[in-house]
Amino acid sequence: MTVEQGIFLFISFLILFSGFMMVTRSNLVHAALYLILVLFGVAVLFVLLNAGFLAVVQIIVYIGAIAILMIFAVMLTRGDVTGEAITMNSVFGWGMLLSSLFGFALIIMLGQWPAVTSLAPALPTGWNELVEIGVAFLSPQGFVIPFEVASVLLLAALIGALYVARAPKKGE
Amino acid sequence: MSFWQDPVAVIGQWILDLLISLNLPEAWVTFIYTLLGVIVVASFGLILVIFLIWVERKVAARFQDRLGPNRAGPYGLLQTLADIVKLLTKEDVVPEKADRLVFNIAPILSMVAVLLIWAVVPFAPGWIGTDLNVGVLYIAAVGSFGILSVLMAGWSSNNKYALLGAFRAVAQLISYEVPMLLTMLVPVLLARGMGMVHMVTAQDTWFIFLAPAAAVVFLISSIAELGRTPFDLLEAESEIVAGYHTEYTGMKFGLFFAAEFLHAFTVGVLFAIFFLGGWRGPWAEQAPILGLFYLMLKSIFGYFIIMWVRSTLPRIRIDHMLAFNWKFLTPVALALLILTAFLDKIFSETALRIPVLLIANLVVLAIGYVISSAMTRRQAKERVKFKKRPVAKPA
Amino acid sequence: MPLSWYLYLAAGLFALGLFGAVARKNAVAILMSVELMLNAVNINIVAFWRYLAPAEIGGQIFAIMVFAVAAAEVAVGLALFISIYNSRKTIAADEINLMKW
């Protein structure tokens, strides 16, 4: 077993374990902290996949912003921060059946696909992902329109979130 | 290359030869060699803290017309060691209803968040933990662990002052991250690369001459990011006891304390790398040990400014803190980023590059100051109307 | 390391996220589970990019788009939950029945 495979196995164990803990904990702050562990593990996987830029962005966007927002939301909507009596809703059993069926179906289907055992080809020589991403995002032949649309989406989400979450004024 | 010019390269080569002569597999040699590098860089940071706390106490004492620590050892140099012994022998108290695991991880995480930054600091030519091509983004990413540690500490203590401190801290740290990241992008634009080594080698003229306003905004928002006076609302002792680390005792408190000091110095180091040319100086290329000396000199200068601000200014109010960020620092940082992008592209190869950028920076700073002070004055006028409250009179 | 390792891991993570999204009661927890599923998709996208088309940058671009959409989704979702909590004092998903009768 190479060092890389060892790291992968360790990280995938961490991801699956924390993911499982995240969906089963009744304490929501703990669930959010486990979510952060999952996100961190995914960032490590990105590094293993030679996508360093994505790994760093994953940590900035997910751990630095989304996860902290989550913890904030948990604390702002408390009353039941520490230990709700019932964590799962009434269709809990169906959910377990559905998701495990789905997971097994995916795994079986993956096993029948021939390309699944392929190994990673070498990256092209002189590969610089920062330059590639920058050019792809800003060239008209590349992804400039999705990029602009994403920025508009973020702006709309920002304004919408501000408007929705604003405390209602008196007499409204 | 003799030992005195570049001790790190010589010792590193010696260890590498030793490991190879042990006939280990190549992957393990790389692993052990990297691990040793991590240990050396981290220990350097941790040992530096002992010295930094002494410096800080001495300088703060001089600002306040005192002597500072002067009993333990020559010039009080061993005072910090004595403090460490004291902290280690204290009882380790965990509040009864605290969330034990989270409570214990938080101080470690706060130290880790700072030490991780040192992985990409270029100390001298060739002396760097790892030269990531996304070095600047990496620093921003690692900073988010610091916020996380504060939030974890505040929540797990099960103490309302700790939680209030954590909320304040997150509000402040997330807000001030915006101008800090925007001004970190200005040197990236000027250097045309995000790698930290590239950043240093690109500074034929120090970037402080090309982007003085960006340097000022970066320093201010970094001080806020540190949570030091005048931005120490997260541990304002007269309002919320000690903020997020109220419940911590002994060495766990010591870790938060040490992390803050090391972070302050790290900000000095980053300031030196982004704006003061890093290790650049006469003969630094020939003798890397001189480069380390220059970097430390510049970092101490940045650190001294932070200490100076700390001992001079009083704490600002929380609404002023947020208004200062969103109404002054962030617009100025945005304007600087856009202006720098345009002007640096237009004047990149000409002799006008330095004067044009310098003047543009100063103009942006001046306009921002005028607008924000006008706004403050208008608000001050408006606020007078609401002050017609009966004043308590002594009987 | 074959491609299958990443795909199996992503399948497992996606199933976990699906379970959380269907079975959790608290709306914030449901949002977290959705993040789990998005991350599983991102692992897949980046793994496909690395193993099948490393010369095309498109794979990474799609992952970045997923980041942007996830951030927008979380911002709006959490704002909605806080707003609902302010008016109804609960964010249990099966008690929010504003739009059904």
**Could you tell me the pLDDT band of residue A21, with boundaries at 50, 70 and 90?**
confident
Name the more confident of A77 and B363: B363
Q: How far, in Å, CA of A41 to CA of A39, rounded?
A: 5
Residues of chain B contacting residue A130, judged by C-beta atoms under 8 Å apart: 133-134, 194
Residues of chain A contacting residue B167, judged by C-beta atoms under 8 Å apart: 75
Residues of chain A contacting residue B142, judged by C-beta atoms under 8 Å apart: 59
Q: Hey, which bits of B95-169 come out as E strands?
A: none
Q: Give B93-129 pLDDT, tens digit per residue.
A: 888 877 888 888 888 988 888 988 888 888 878 777 7
Interface touch A2/B27, C-beta < 8 Å = yes
**Could you tell me the pLDDT band of residue A81, with boundaries at 50, 70 and 90?**
very low
Interface touch C17/A19, C-beta < 8 Å = yes
Closest residue to B134, CB basis, from A29, A75, A130: A130
- Provide the percentage of residues in chain B whose pLDDT is more than 70: 94
Residues of chain C contacting residue A12, judged by C-beta atoms under 8 Å apart: 5, 9
Which stretches of chain C score pLDDT less than 70? Answer: 100-101
Interface touch B138/A128, C-beta < 8 Å = no
Task: Please tell me the predicted confidence (pLDDT) of residue A31.
Answer: 85
Chains A and C touch (3+ CB pairs under 8 A): yes
**Could you tell me the pLDDT band of residue A38, with boundaries at 50, 70 and 90?**
very high
Residues of chain C contacting residue A21, judged by C-beta atoms under 8 Å apart: none
Interface touch A62/C46, C-beta < 8 Å = no
* Interface-testing mutation among C16, C37, C38, C50, with chain A (most A C-beta atoms within 10 A): C16
Residues of chain A contacting residue C1, judged by C-beta atoms under 8 Å apart: 2, 4-5, 8, 119-120
Amino acid at B186: V
Residues of chain B contacting residue A53, judged by C-beta atoms under 8 Å apart: 134, 137
Interface of A with C in 75-94 (CB under 8 A): 76-77, 79-80, 84, 86-92, 94
Mean pLDDT of chain B: 83
Nearest Cα to B260, choosing from B128, B107, B118? B107
Closest residue to C61, CB basis, from A100, A118, A133: A133
Interface touch A3/B137, C-beta < 8 Å = no
Closest residue to B27, CB basis, from A3, A30, A57: A3
- Provide the percentage of residues in chain A whose pLDDT is more than 90: 9
Tokens standing for residue A44: 């490590």
- Judged against a pLDDT cut of 70, whether residue A82 lies above it is answered with no
Task: Please tell me the predicted confidence (pLDDT) of residue B248.
Answer: 84
Task: Please tell me the predicted confidence (pLDDT) of residue B12.
Answer: 78
Question: Which chains does chain C touch, 3 or more C-beta pairs < 8 A?
Answer: A
| Element of type H or E holding A30 | helix A28-48
Place of tokens 């320093």: B219
Q: Give A160-171 pLDDT, tens digit per residue.
A: 888 887 766 655
| Element of type H or E holding B322 | helix B318-323
CA distance A162 to chain B (A): 15
Name the more confident of B268 and B392: B268
Task: Please tell me the predicted confidence (pLDDT) of residue B1.
Answer: 57
Task: Please tell me the predicted confidence (pLDDT) of residue C79.
Answer: 86
Closest residue to B138, CB basis, from A36, A56, A72: A56
Residue in chain A nearest C90 by alpha carbon: A77
Residues of chain A contacting residue B141, judged by C-beta atoms under 8 Å apart: 56-57, 59-60, 63-64
Task: Please tell me the predicted confidence (pLDDT) of residue A79.
Answer: 56
Interface of C with A in 30-89 (CB under 8 A): 31-33, 35-36, 39, 42-43, 46-47, 49-52, 54-55, 57-58, 60-61, 63-65, 67-76, 78-83, 85-87, 89
Interface touch A49/C93, C-beta < 8 Å = no
Nearest Cα to C46, choosing from A100, A57, A134? A57
Secondary structure (DSSP) of chain C: --HHHHHHHHHHHHHHHHHHHHHB-BHHHHHHHHHHHHHHHHHHHHHHHHHH-TT-THHHHHHHHHHHHHHHHHHHHHHHHHHHHHHHS--BGGG--TT--
Q: Give B234-243 pLDDT, tens digit per residue.
A: 776 677 777 7
- Judged against a pLDDT cut of 60, whether residue A152 lies above it is answered with yes
Interface touch A53/B134, C-beta < 8 Å = yes
- Judged against a pLDDT cut of 60, whether residue A144 lies above it is answered with yes
Mean pLDDT of the A65-81 span: 74
Nearest Cα to B151, choosing from C85, A69, C30? A69
In contact, A20 and C16? CB cutoff 8 Å: yes
In contact, A40 and A46? CB cutoff 8 Å: no
Q: For the whole model, what pTM was predicted?
A: 0.85
In contact, B238 and B159? CB cutoff 8 Å: no
Mean pLDDT of chain A: 82
Closest residue to A23, CB basis, from C20, C87, C94: C20
Closest residue to A66, CB basis, from C19, C58, C70: C70
- Name the most confidently modeled range: A10-24, A63-77, B70-84, B270-284: A10-24
Task: Please tell me the predicted confidence (pLDDT) of residue A71.
Answer: 81
Residues of chain B contacting residue A57, judged by C-beta atoms under 8 Å apart: 137, 141
Residues of chain A contacting residue B133, judged by C-beta atoms under 8 Å apart: 52, 128-130
Task: Please tell me the predicted confidence (pLDDT) of residue B389.
Answer: 61
Nearest Cα to B340, choosing from B177, B198, B189? B189
Q: Give B212-266 pLDDT, tens digit per residue.
A: 888 889 999 988 888 787 887 777 667 777 778 888 888 888 888 888 888 889 9
Nearest Cα to B254, choosing from B24, B92, B116, B34? B92
Q: Give B124-175 pLDDT, tens digit per residue.
A: 787 777 788 888 888 888 888 888 888 888 888 888 888 888 888 888 888 8
- Judged against a pLDDT cut of 50, whether residue B64 lies above it is answered with yes
Amino acid at B36: L
Burial class (CB in 10 A: 0-12, 13-18, 19+), B211: buried
Residues paired with B127 in a beta bridge: B124
Closest residue to A63, CB basis, from B132, B137, B144: B144
- Judged against a pLDDT cut of 60, whether residue A23 lies above it is answered with yes
Name the more confident of A102 and B356: A102
Mean pLDDT lowest among A105-109, B5-9, B25-29, B146-150: B5-9
- Report the sign of the C-alpha dihedral through residues C88, A21, A13, A70, in that order: positive
Closest residue to A56, CB basis, from B28, B141, B170: B141
In contact, C30 and A20? CB cutoff 8 Å: no
- Judged against a pLDDT cut of 70, whether residue A141 lies above it is answered with yes
